[in-house]
Structure 1
């Protein structure tokens, strides 16, 4: 197969398109696999500015490429018409054309146009491409190591941003507590804190200023307000008062049945207290009495308890392996799941407003569990979920109405995964 990547004369060539064409003509192309490259490109999507319909188009093209074309001298060219892509994505052809252009200008694909503009591939008896015209993903192969480094830097930056946000929230509360407890010693700290939080400075700059303000506020406290440890010097030794009066035999027997023994001997619903504690969801104690209330009377905590009533974090972890691999994070605890929400919403192009609205309506953990389910489904079957953001909002609405059965969806994903592993 020729290694020349031609761009048709009817296209308006930009510097980015020309750069992708040059990458497609490279001879030194590293070996990779289709699955590795597909996962890498999905992780790199936020870095490359690929989201929404463009992400969906990329996913379809990667799925249509052949695994053997990603190795050796092969060229992963996909020949599919704009009309068929428009049908798959339920968008107009003009939208599909713009999405393909974004992929090319992002430097992961290149136009390989025929003289007539048609896209087709001819293969010999061995399956090798003799002539192929369409969308060529050779630039992605050439940029393999560059994309890996970009993904690692993005994930480090995202982790640092989340840590900075947590520091700002934590230290701001601490400064506010100091101001409330010692108004004379920290009377200017509150106004300075408000100025920092209201400024339009970069996140890391604000985090640094809040840390410095917290240290300065604590250091300015008068010594008499600083907590100190009491010494045990001079304490006298006393003998504990032990009641030596014997108790009746029946009362002694009753006292030997400790509360822990009772919980083990009489488990609720056939389960031990240890199992029940392991399955307890965040915030379940506060809203347990509100679960049975009507939809109009329930708050986000009550809805969260209802959605996660029969869902454990272990089930979410088992049902969503692709989502965890995509963001390089493990759902091994509820706090880890909650922290992954921001990254997951970027993977499907969900807006910040849509994500904040979902959390406000059903709680952080329920919203993240729903989002992880949507991401997992969209990865496994992108043709089934053409608009992941809309699918997420629909599941939030069903949760509010009390009609969402998240447990069934997660068990379905887990069973599908284990069934595929056994084959």
Structure 2
């Protein structure tokens, strides 16, 4: 088929559309696979500014493309009408048109318009495209190496920013500890710490300024006043589980009783949450009435119910695709919680939606739900048309006491093991 990419005269051409059209006309197109490019584009979505409905539209278009068109001289052209896309996404046709335009201007797709504006693909007996008009993803094939580098840099920058956030939190607590312990020597330190938070600098620079303030405060104290082991981040009295050997969840369900497993997980996973909850109740008995009433339940109680029989090992076994997408292994609850920011970007969830979920069910439970939603959306994009809405629905079910996260995770893990055995 011809490699020329025609843009219809009725379109308002922008530099981004022209650049994508030129990429679509390239002759030297590297081979890739549909699954590889889909995973790469989802990882690159935050960098390219693709989120919300645009992310959903991209997911549908990639799913409709043929695997063979991503190799050799093939052109991954998707011929679907705006009306059908609007029906799939439950959005208006104007919204769909804007979303496709964003994909084109982002440089991962190009318009291949017919003279009438209709989208269709003709193939020969071998399944090769003879003539095709629609949305052409050849630019994504051409840019596969560039996008791989972009994703690597983005994930590296994200890791640096997450480390900076942890440093700021740790050092701020340490500074506050010194201010409380030595008020005379640290009279103006709180004001300086607040001023650093108001500076219009990036988070890495703010972490450096906080480190400098911390070092200066420590240096200004007499040697006998320098505290030890201040504000240790992540301290917890839970005994770690060092046996990380996993077995098939289907086999484990057949070989042991659920009561022993539930007791074991309750002791290890809910100890910290239950301890904090008991302290709150002892301090304010009125909270107990509100917690078990109809109006409101305590967040620690909800988190304990969700994670009562869910272990980190189960999450790790059930969510391999989600871990591969964000480049992080769920080897601890702290790691899972820190991955929440990346996970919510992968499903197009807003910051407000993520903060609301953590406030309602706790950071660990919200991150576990988020990982489950991402895993399901990767495996079956058509089943979950709106991952962000699916996450909010699961949060609501958790508040009602109707969420069975353990069953969902066992189902994902069983499907994974079943595919592996086949």
Q: Same fold (TM over 0.5)?
A: yes
Pairing of 1:239-258 with structure 2 (within 5 A) = none
Deviation at 1:145, TM superposition (A): 0.9
Between 354-363 and 182-191, the greater mean CA deviation after superposition: 182-191
Distance in 2 separating the partners of 1:5 and 1:268: 60
Pairing of 1:76-115 with structure 2 (within 5 A) = 76-115=76-115
Tell me, yes or no, if the aligned pair for 1:358 and 1:396 is still in contact at 8 Å.
yes
Pairing of 1:107-146 with structure 2 (within 5 A) = 107-146=107-146
Tell me, yes or no, if the aligned pair for 2:82 and 2:96 is still in contact at 8 Å.
yes
Equivalence for 2:244: none
2:412 is equivalent to residue 413 of structure 1: yes
Distance in 1 separating the partners of 2:4 and 2:394: 47
- The superposition leaves residues 208-247 of structure 1 with CA deviations (integer Å, 9 ceiling, x where unpaired) of 110000000000012332369xxxxxxxxxxxxxxxxxxx
Structure 1 segments (4+ residues) deviating >4 Å: 267-282, 288-292
SS of alignment partner, residue 72 of structure 1: coil
Tell me, yes or no, if the aligned pair for 1:90 and 1:386 is still in contact at 8 Å.
no
Equivalence for 2:273: 283
Equivalence for 2:242: none
Deviation at 1:88, TM superposition (A): 1.0
Equivalence for 1:18: 18
Deviation at 1:72, TM superposition (A): 1.1
Distance of aligned partners of 1:35 and 1:180 in 2 relative to their CA distance in 1, 3 Å threshold: same
Deviation at 1:99, TM superposition (A): 0.6
Deviation at 1:183, TM superposition (A): 1.4
- The superposition leaves residues 8-32 of structure 1 with CA deviations (integer Å, 9 ceiling, x where unpaired) of 1111110000000000001111111
- The superposition leaves residues 361-397 of structure 1 with CA deviations (integer Å, 9 ceiling, x where unpaired) of 1100000111111112222222222222122112111
Tell me, yes or no, if the aligned pair for 1:281 and 1:308 is still in contact at 8 Å.
no
Task: Output the TM-score relative to the length of structure 1.
Answer: 0.86
Pairing of 1:20-419 with structure 2 (within 5 A) = 20-226=20-226, 269-270=259-260, 283-287=273-277, 293-294=292-293, 296=295, 298-419=297-418
RMSD over aligned CA atoms reads 2.3
Distance of aligned partners of 1:23 and 1:297 in 2 relative to their CA distance in 1, 3 Å threshold: closer
Unpaired runs of 5+ residues, structure 1, are: 229-266
Distance in 1 separating the partners of 2:177 and 2:260: 45
Tell me, yes or no, if the aligned pair for 2:270 and 2:304 is still in contact at 8 Å.
no
Between 412-421 and 384-393, the greater mean CA deviation after superposition: 412-421
Distance in 1 separating the partners of 2:326 and 2:309: 25
Distance in 2 separating the partners of 1:143 and 1:178: 52
Unpaired runs of 5+ residues, structure 2, are: 229-256, 282-287
Deviation at 1:280, TM superposition (A): 5.2
Deviation at 1:418, TM superposition (A): 2.4
Task: Output the TM-score relative to the length of structure 2.
Answer: 0.86
